[in-house]
Amino acid sequence: MPYLARILTTLVLGSLMMINCSNAANGSPTITVGTQEIGLSAGYLFPHRLVEGKSKTEQRGPAFMPSWMITLTDPIGDSWYRGQISLGGEMVYIQFQEPVLSHGIGFTPKIKYSFVALDWIRPYAEFAGGPFWTDLAGNIPEQHSQFNFILTGGLGVSYFLTDQSAINAGYRFQHISNADTSTPNVGLNESLPFAGFSFYF
C-alpha cells in the first residue's frame, strides 16, 4: 500500500510539474470581454448560527452549483486589486440530509470579481441571490414556506490548468429565508466549502 501511495504521489506531482511548465511556456491565460465561462461546483453544507437561540435546526447535506458567466470588462486597475467583472446565472441544488431528507432548488443571478495579478492563480469574490424552493419547509420549526430566497457571498481561487480550463476551490456563506412573506421566518445560515472546475470559450 505505501508503494502504491508513492506511485500515485509521483504521478500527481509529475502532472503538476508538466502543467506548470506548459503554463510558463504559454504565458498568462487571456480572458477578454465576451469570454464565456461554464462551471460546476460541489460542496457540503454545515449549519452556521449567527444568533444563539434563533435557529436550532442543524441542516446538512451536499450542494451542486452549475453556472454560466460572461466577462464584462477588461482588467481594471494597476495594482494587486487588478481584476475583471463577470455576470451570469447559477442553478443551486441542495439535498438536505439532516434533520430530514429533503431537497431545495433555485436560480440565482451571479456577479464575480476575479483578481488577475497572479496570472495562472486567480482569487475571486462572488455574490448571488434569487428564488429558492424547498420541501424542507414544514419539517423544521424555523420555516413553513416552500418558496424562499437564497443569498450567497463567497471567496475562492481558480488555478488555470490551460488558458481555457481551471479548477476552483473556496468558501461560501448562504442565507435562506422567505423574506417575511410568511411566518415564522427564522433564516437558515450555512457554511459551504466547495470545489469545482470551469471551461472558458
Selection from 78, 77, 74 nearest residue 31 by Cα: 74
Cα separation, 122 vs 117, whole angstroms: 8
Q: Are 20 and 62 part of one and the same domain? A: no
pLDDT computed for residue 24 by the predictor: 43
Q: Are 101 and 8 part of one and the same domain? A: no
The CATH number for 151's domain is 2.40.160.20
Q: Are 119 and 196 part of one and the same domain? A: yes
**3-state secondary structure (DSSP) of residue 13:** helix
Q: Are 139 and 57 part of one and the same domain? A: yes
Q: Are 148 and 178 part of one and the same domain? A: yes
pLDDT digits (tens, 9 = 90+) for 100-125: 788 999 999 999 999 999 889 999 99
Range of the domain at 9: 1-29
Q: Are 24 and 3 part of one and the same domain? A: yes
pLDDT computed for residue 43 by the predictor: 97
Using alpha carbons, list the distances in angstroms from residue 81 to 22, 39, 127.
Answer: 26, 24, 17
Q: Are 4 and 42 part of one and the same domain? A: no
Strands 102-115 and 121-134: antiparallel
> Which residues of the chain register pLDDT less than 50?
1, 3-5, 8, 11-25
Instruction: Pull the grid cell for residue 188.
Output: 437558515
pLDDT computed for residue 49 by the predictor: 67
Q: Are 18 and 85 part of one and the same domain? A: no
Instruction: Pull the grid cell for residue 65.
Output: 452549483
Q: Are 64 and 18 part of one and the same domain? A: no
Q: Are 1 and 39 part of one and the same domain? A: no
Q: Are 13 and 101 part of one and the same domain? A: no
Selection from 193, 178, 190 nearest residue 57 by Cα: 190
Instruction: Write the CB contacts of 185 (distance below 8 Å, at least 6 apart in sequence).
Output: 143, 145, 177, 178, 179
Selection from 87, 96, 99 nearest residue 148 by Cα: 96
pLDDT computed for residue 1 by the predictor: 46
pLDDT computed for residue 4 by the predictor: 44
Query: In total, how many domains does the chain have?
Result: 2
Q: Are 100 and 8 part of one and the same domain? A: no
Extended beta strands in 79-164, E state: 83-96, 102-115, 121-134, 147-162
pLDDT computed for residue 50 by the predictor: 61
